[in-house]
Amino acid sequence: MTKQEQFLWIVQTAIIVNAVRLSAGTGNGADVSDISLTANWAAISDAIRASELIPADMDADAAADDYCTYMLSNERRAETQAHGHPLPCPEWFARS
């Protein structure tokens, strides 16, 4: 598998696992909208673009962690609460 394929596999799996966890009611104060296709469409569609932008010195799992933490709304809320300020988009996949 290429790094891009590994990233996409990890992101896909993370989105599915996150939806299952949220639907079971065990996730970070999320609501039903966090598990809808509409709510996750940006993360799903932007994953392809992000997979093409992974820095050469970053491995697929670190990139996927950055990506999912920012793109999955319940994970972003948890990180924002933990740090006390909004989580910035990682520079490597931010739109300019």
| Burial class, 51, CB count within 10 angstroms (exposed 0-12 / middle 13-18 / buried 19+) | buried
Helices (H) and strands (E) in the chain, counts: 4, 0
Query: Residue 56 is part of which domain span?
Result: 3-93
Q: Which one has a higher pLDDT value, 82 or 96?
A: 82
**Number of domains into which the chain is organized:** 1
The pLDDT score that the predictor gives to residue 33 is 60
Measured over the CA atoms of residue 84, residue 11, residue 95 and residue 40, the dihedral's sign is negative
Each residue's pLDDT tens digit, 20-61: 888 777 545 555 566 677 777 888 899 999 999 999 999 999
